[in-house]
Structure 1
Amino acid sequence: MTDLAARARTLADELLFPAAAEVDLKGEVPISHFDALAAEGFYGLAAPKETGGPGLDLPVMIQILEAMAGGCLSTMFTWVQHHGLVAGLSLTDRADLRERYLPALISGELKAGASFAAVIPTPPRLRAERVEGGYLLDGEAPFVSGWGIIDLLQLCARDGDTIVSAIIDPVAGEQLAVQPLDLVAAQGTSTVHLGFTRYFLADDRVYGKVPYADFIAGNTFVSRLNGCAPLGLAARAARLLEDLGKADVAAGIRAEIDTVRARLDASLADPPSLPAARAAGAELAFRAAGALVAANGSTSVLAGRHPQRLVREATFLLVAASRPEIKAGLLDLFSR
């Protein structure tokens, strides 16, 4: 499946990156970007072969995610949310939901978003109350990307010590308030805040229930994958630095990328080390983008230029998919 990684790099270099400045200025990802990802088979990455996916190994998946992030962060960040539902339906014992949705999700005919971070803190931000025939949801999902683009939303809510995973339709209503957010970068992700007020979630849309402790333990793999975007951005900054004749600076950044990637990989066997590795990747992306601004000079601050865009996107990645332990790690790095 290394061919898929090569195709990802080609797509990132020939389609996503040339349009990234315009996507940033307009705050909108062309639907043709997502169509191209679907046509190349990139919507089924998380599915095993048994369910019609490619059955990727981790190194290839990492290569793909890093390449996409270095092409256009708005496109990558919106698209990557899709894979949570693909993975969830691949593993569920709800055969009816799997058969109804999974083939179209793998092909990209249906596109999905994700909202699960609201269940991680205690107390949770999104609560589920058991009622006859389903659950009533109350609370918020502070950041949900892909609104207006996605067809389905993977949603997690917390009922005591149980995480309830379900599929809902991304449609505003009396019980579901939608507030568009104005972001400093990656505005093309179409990110919104969702407010739930006695929102009824029917049992026939629930595809999984797991204890809170198991959910947190299972989040290690997802968190490791979240470390790909900063490294992809840093790699793009290194390439642009090299184009400016700063090959030595670019080489240093690439060496650090390799080191951080190895730390992220090693953390799968040592989860307590993961937050520090995630922090190192985010700090590296921020520093690499800053180096590009310095090397490029005063035109870096002009709208439509890649250096200022990458700095803002690196700022976005300092907090995207973060956790208190990652924040602490970043503050430690920035205080040195």
Structure 2
Amino acid sequence: MSPQTTTAPTPAVATARRLAEELLAPHAAAVEAAGAVPRSHLEALAQAGLRAVDGDDALAVVEELAAGDLATAFVWIQQVGVARWLEAGSAADGRWATQLDDLRAGRTHAGIALQAALRPGPAAVVARRLTQDDDGDGWVLDGAVPWVTGWGLLDALLLTARDGEEVLFLLLDLRTVRDGDGDIPRLRAEALPLAAVRASRTVQLHLDGVHVGAGQLVARAQHAALLAGDAAGLRPNGSLALGLVLRCVRALGDGGGTAQHVERATALAAELDAVRQQLDAAGPAELPAARAAAVDLAWRAAATLSLTTGSSAVISGSLAERTVREALFLLVFGSRPAIREALLDGLLPGAH
């Protein structure tokens, strides 16, 4: 059963819940209006030890943070992904230990851009290996990353680029490549006007001859192998949708609600438990359907919260209005063809 709804949370999950309730949720509307997750939010979460949490606790932490503020959780989950790659790289020779310690302690913040690794077809970013005739070692990168979250907050970016059929995982230290005006030569960020989680500072990043040294290589793998294993990595993003449902459960079950609201909250909590268990039990073949079930539940939970809230749900900045926009965001974020088809089949059964 759900550790969030039926059993006592672990210390890490309890800490995440406290920070979500005391820090993230009260400021979520103001953060969205300002258009930027404050760096202090990320530092508070890191200093509470949440970047060092692994396994089921890590999934539950993301869920709690998303219940408080999806924009902060969206930036946070990228940083957790960087930590996992650096941890794997450090296991071999300890070369990334310092960067990993700084990231977990909140002294630095990092983003992730894996489109070149996980996108079929032409590479989003192409790497050209420098030769002896070139000035320096490493690679020159060209292309565009369609989705980079946390821009302006980041000290480093874990970027993938393709050199033929090989994918390179490269840690770009953004602090060392800025010029005197604070800009990054040969990197251009184009802000995306998102309908939700606008405070996540998500941009499209254009690279024009960016030089990355050989010492910045974290890992390398074959593109075909990464694509084949992609489904196995779909579980963490499902916690963002579960967090939105958890927010609705708590809002509906608030002491100020009617007995009917509490009854609906109880029913929604039972569905939340069932979908979480479906996600946890799913193997790679079942994960797309499980992810679709989580997003579908988030969408229905947001609609339920709006209907029970009434006319004030259409006022910009209200909890219900923001939750509906965030549910729309999750319908398409991090999707795959199998997830999309499962969602469409649920919305329009029999329509092919």
TM-score normalised by structure 1 residue count: 0.91
Instruction: Measure the CA separation in 2 of the matches of 1:154 and 1:197.
Output: 17
Gapped regions of structure 1 (runs ≥ 5): 46-55
Q: Which residue of structure 2 aligns with residue 190 of structure 1?
A: 201
1:60 corresponding residue in structure 2: 57
For residues 39 and 91 of structure 1, the distance between their equivalents in structure 2, rounded to whole angstroms, comes to: 22
Amino acid at match of 2:235: R
1:109 aligned partner: 107
Give the root-mean-square deviation of aligned CA atoms.
1.8
Corresponding residue for residue 77 of structure 1: 74
1:92 partner SS = helix
What's the counterpart of residue 302 of structure 2? 289
What are structure 2's unaligned runs of at least 5 residues? 1-8, 132-136
Alignment-derived partner of residue 128 in structure 2: 129
- Aligned match of 1:235: 246
Partner of 2:314: 301
Contact 2:117–2:227 (Cα < 8 Å) also in 1: no
Match of 1:150 among 138, 151, 154: 154
**Distance between the aligned counterparts of 1:5 and 1:221, measured in 2?**
24
Q: How does 1:5-24 map to 2 (within 5 A)?
A: 5-24=13-32
Q: Displacement of 1:228 after TM fit?
A: 0.3
Residue 105 of structure 1 and its aligned partner are, at CA, apart by 1.1
After superposition, what is the alpha-carbon deviation per residue over 1:204-230, rounded to whole angstroms, capped at 9, x for unaligned?
111111122332355444310111000
8 Å contact from structure 2 (residues 63, 242) kept in 1: yes
Paired residue type of 1:67: E
Measure, in 1, the Cα distance between the counterparts of 2:10 and 2:77.
19
Matched position secondary structure for 2:285: helix
Question: How far apart, CA to CA, are the structure 2 residues paired with 1:97 and 1:152?
Answer: 16
Which whole-Å CA distance do the structure 2 matches of 1:35 and 1:174 have between them? 28
User: Relative to 1, partners in 2 of residues 1:61 and 1:87: Cα closer, same or farther, differing over 3 Å?
Assistant: same
Identity of aligned residues (%): 38
1:162 to 160, 166, 169: 166
Cα distance in 2 for residues equivalent to 1:202 and 1:31: 28
Is the CA contact 1:89–1:98 (under 8 Å) kept in the aligned structure 2? yes
Stretch of structure 1 that moved more, 96-105 or 254-263: 96-105
Q: Tell me if structure 2 keeps the 8 A contact 1:118–1:140.
A: no
